[in-house]
């Protein structure tokens, strides 16, 4: 009799943060100052340097159930034992249960991944990238600044979807919803909607600005 596939689970120290959503492959700088989290980081640095970041909704105080594992890439101890560190997003996870609450939370988590796509996602990814370039161009025109996308913008659809999601600012609940999606196409489609709305808004503002400047 064939055995059923095993779900990968492990215990993971958890770091809930207000309005912060980490995505796989994306860097995140952190400033660790609370005593319990300094304890946590010192423990982690002696093992595999991995912990989970979960978003706290600042309006409700609710801690998300899906987060992203962070790996400490570099850290600096400050004189009063605070730490500055650079982390990199690894796998996403879902919390199955909390196994400890003090001095910091530890959860039993299962790893989650996007489903294997059935269609070629490259055309959709290209559409999202073009929308992104339109938004950057219009933003630069409005602010009269030279804004450019990085040269190493991901070209793989899943990695691009994480890059776009991580660079949406001021919309943590929307980022959390994107993190929880396990369908790359659905994530890219939602990002296309967000970027289209943003592009249209910026284009309208640009027209108003140009019209105003012509009248001066």
Q: What is the CATH number of the domain that holds 54?
A: 2.30.130.40
The pLDDT of residue 3: 43
List per-residue pLDDT tens for the chain, 216 residues long.
444 445 689 999 999 999 999 999 999 999 999 999 999 999 999 999 999 999 998 888 899 999 999 999 999 999 888 999 999 999 999 999 999 999 999 999 999 999 999 899 999 999 999 999 999 999 888 877 777 888 889 989 999 999 999 999 888 999 999 999 999 999 999 999 999 999 999 988 877 765 655 555
182, 93: one domain: no
Asked whether the CA dihedral 116, 117, 123, 125 is positive or negative, the reply is: negative
32, 51: one domain: yes
The pLDDT of residue 211: 63
130, 101: one domain: no
CA distances from 15 to 12, 142, 144 (A): 10, 38, 39
Give the integer Cα–Cα distance in Å for 130 and 145: 20
Residue 126 has phi, psi (to 5 degrees) of: -65, -40
37, 69: one domain: yes
Give all strands (DSSP E) within 78-177, no chain letters.
83-100, 106-112
131, 208: one domain: yes
Q: Report whether 108 contacts 99 (CB < 8 A).
A: yes
The pLDDT of residue 145: 76
Last residue of a domain, which of 112, 133, 166?
A: 112
The pLDDT of residue 212: 57
Q: Is 98 part of a structural domain of the chain?
A: yes
105, 134: one domain: no
103, 192: one domain: no
13, 108: one domain: yes
139, 86: one domain: no
Q: Model confidence over 125-155: pLDDT tens digits?
A: 999 999 999 999 998 888 777 778 888 899 8
Q: How far apart are the two ends of the chain, measured CA to CA in Å?
A: 81
Last residue of a domain, which of 94, 112, 130?
A: 112
The pLDDT of residue 80: 85
CA-wise closest residue to 67 among 168, 167, 165, 180: 180
Last residue of a domain, which of 112, 145, 166?
A: 112
98, 179: one domain: no
Query: How many domains would you assign to the chain?
Result: 2
Q: Is 30 part of a structural domain of the chain?
A: yes
Structural domain for 177, as ranges: 122-215
Q: Is 1 part of a structural domain of the chain?
A: no
Q: Report whether 98 contacts 45 (CB < 8 A).
A: no
Q: Report whether 71 contacts 88 (CB < 8 A).
A: yes
185, 137: one domain: yes
Give the integer Cα–Cα distance in Å for 205 and 194: 17
Q: Report whether 142 contacts 134 (CB < 8 A).
A: no
């Amino acid at each position: 009799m064939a055995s059923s596939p095993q779900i990968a689970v492990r215990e993971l120290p958890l770091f809930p943060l207000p309005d912060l959503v980490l995505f796989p492959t994306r860097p995140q700088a952190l400033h660790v100052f609370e005593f319990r989290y300094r304890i946590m980081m010192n423990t982690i640095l002696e093992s595999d340097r991995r912990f989970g970041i979960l978003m706290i909704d600042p309006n409700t105080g609710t801690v998300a159930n899906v987060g992203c594992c962070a790996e400490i890439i570099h850290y600096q101890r400050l004189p009063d034992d605070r730490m500055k560190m650079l982390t990199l997003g690894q796998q996403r996870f879902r919390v199955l249960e909390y196994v400890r609450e003090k001095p910091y939370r530890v959860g039993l988590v299962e790893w989650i991944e996007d489903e294997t796509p059935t269609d070629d996602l490259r055309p959709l990814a290209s559409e999202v990238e073009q929308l992104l370039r339109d938004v950057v161009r219009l933003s630069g025109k409005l602010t009269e600044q030279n804004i450019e996308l990085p040269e190493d913008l991901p070209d793989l659809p899943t990695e691009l979807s994480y890059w776009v999601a991580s660079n949406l600012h001021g919309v943590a609940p929307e980022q959390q919803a994107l993190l929880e999606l396990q369908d790359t196409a659905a994530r890219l489609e939602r990002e296309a909607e967000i970027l289209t709305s943003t592009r249209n808004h910026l284009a309208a503002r640009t027209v108003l600005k140009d019209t105003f400047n012509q009248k001066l």
